[in-house]
Chain A
Amino acid sequence: MATTARPSPTAPTTGPAASQRRGRPAKRKNDGVAGYVFLSPWLLGLLAITAIPMLMSLYLSFTNYDVLSDWESMKWVGLDNYRTMFTEDPSFWHAVRVTLVFALVATPLKLAAALGVAMLLNRSFKAAGLFRGLFYLPSLLGGSVALAIVWVNMFNRDGAFNSFLGWFGIEGKAWVNDPDFALGTLILLAVWQFGAPMVIFLAGLKQVPVELYEAASVDGASPWRKFLSITLPMLSPVIFFNLVLETINGFQGFTSAFVLSNGTGGPVDSTLMYTLHLYIKGWNEYQMGYASAMAWVFLLAIGLVTAVVFRTGKFWVHYSDGED
């Protein structure tokens, strides 16, 4: 599904410049005006919904403001919000840790599951399409409140997971109420949604020339060797694409944590995702200045992580010339 929707990651993105290079015979003069006419809704959105709010939130982050009262109540506090965040709010560091653990554990597991299943499905057999659709379904449903509710009940004391353990004589507990395991159940929920990256991997796998595997077989390479020397390098652009996308998604987990903890981040802050902490500060405690400061730190952190991923990508992402 995602293959039709998401632009193929294997195709290198050519900027609009590419079409200019093609050189068109007649220059249409009124294109310039028309261009801005068609672009105007987007430009207005960029300005009013993105750029101005961003600057506004930067300003807000240096103030105390509770939204309920009018603008005059806004008080300039300098760097106080940032100082409080880093030195006086233990929950902030808790949230940072929870979010890092969640993103750094769930993302690799999810991608590994996605790649593994994609390789299982990368054969032509009758039911391949059926399985692909089936495994994709959780990606569509998994982000919803409804599914998070089901998930939490499944891992509760009387849930289905414990009855499964019961078959092996293991006595379970209310995993979602245990600070050591609550986040783990949310990680499992994220991994369960491996279908979206799987579909993208499948599209990538179809691009790998069969001759490479045949040649390797002639040379007597083991399946593991073929995986390491052919599949992984050939697939590296797709892995990179999925990694960037899923990491950024991972940092933004909110719904499942909200449902599990009923909006508190509990038990004992163990599911206090960064975005949930931001929500609590902004909409439970009406500290919009503080929440803005948190949003900016979040933006910088995500920017940093993305930059690091892109940097390291230079060392392990191979773009073969034959593509496209």
Chain B
Amino acid sequence: MLWQNIPILLIVLPLGLSSLIALLRPRAAKLAVLGVISLCTAAALYLLIRVNALGEAFTVKMGEVGAPFGNELYVSHTEALLCLAFDAIMLLSLLAGMRRADEEIPEDRKSLFFTVCSLLLAALNAITLTNDIFSGYVFLEIATIAAAALIFVRRGEGALFASMRYMLMNLLGSGLFLLGLSMMYSLTGELLFPQMLRRSKAILADGRYMGALSACLILLSLGLAVKSALYPFHTWLPNAYSLSTPAASSLLSSLVSKAYIFLFIKIMLRGAGLEAFSESGAANVILVYAVLAIVIGSVDAIQQHNIRRMVSYSSVAQIGYIFMAAALGTKEGCAAAVFQILAHSFAKAMLFPAVDRLVEVSGGEENFRDLRGSGYRAPLAGAAFAIGAFSITGIPLLGGFSAKVFISEAAWAAGGLRMYLALAALAVSTVLNVIYFLRTMITVYRRGERFELKPAGNRPFSFTLGVGFFALVNLYLGMGAGNVMDIILRGINIWN
């Protein structure tokens, strides 16, 4: 059927046009990229509707020959939903941060910036849709380099050092992942997920190569954990997020690291199988780091005075939630992790432009004490900040709350020590989240003396559009959480 070609389009269109976008003038390049992303978003939405109607997953052969000989894509409800979310977030983040990016990125670099965005989009869609672990690695490399370029596209030594640090840590992660991948290949002889799953189940039953399989899975998990800034490996994150241009911060925190985590979930569920993941100890390793991330990330965020760094540090804790849910080792846990990916992505991608706007109307001061009354001067940004902060804290009717409910339910169902750890971490970190986000909220809406409390005006239309849509999606993720979770579960339950 014709619509089943959409997954190919989602990858090849931004990939093929990226090199041509590099030739265009900045203005034309901007329009071309926004056009490509809008088209991909619409196509992903249509794909989701059709997959939902079809009710089952399908594979797309990339060539005449499919599994296990050639590359394949695999599309179920979950993949289609995540593609839609990633494409939509990219569009809205670029819109919301567009004017700032126009100011901060030198004219001669703009076309290349949009080229990088287009390549990043292709890589994200490919990582989400691939049925093949090695294709996952290739596009993970594109995403890594694209992210580094997004950090240093803004001139200045701070961004340069941040991207250098990012690059070093991420190359370490890529190295670990590649090691795990090649050992997995020599162990199973397969690269496509369904075949790999069959082999690793056989290894699990046989027991002879269990030690090697454990090492493979731990390496793969650690590689992706380093790349998506799980707690002890998060040192690159705060500078990278807080020193790049806001649109880039949104893309980095909401898309790049989330795509890595989704690849992790796919490998564990579809490539190795949940039994192997739990038996091998990889789940325990990740669970311990995730719990540490949740607590220490929140404590770090409390200590920050710079609002952008505070928002960045809160990502450490939130990424901890996702990994913790996935490390529960159940399908429900993985579904909750995917929901948390959505909830956090939409909230964080809205927070960065909103915070930037708040800072802008406060005379460029990033210390949160100087932001007094900025919520009155920038009403939309203030409201967006409130929605994002409430969502991440876990106030009902917003996405973050539903995510926490789903994670607790999954933890409850998993039982045992993992349940106690997960529930305790959730409880502690919710309190910590409230401390730093409410503190900032109160400051933002407190009357200060430095500025008048009138709306500052000169708000760009693209910002209104981007942030407005983000806010709507966040509300929907809270109130329509059941529908979204239903789609995710339908996909994950038919994953083979």
Asked whether A and B interact, the reply is no
Interface residues of B (CB under 8 A from A): none
Interface, chain A (partner B; CB < 8 A): none
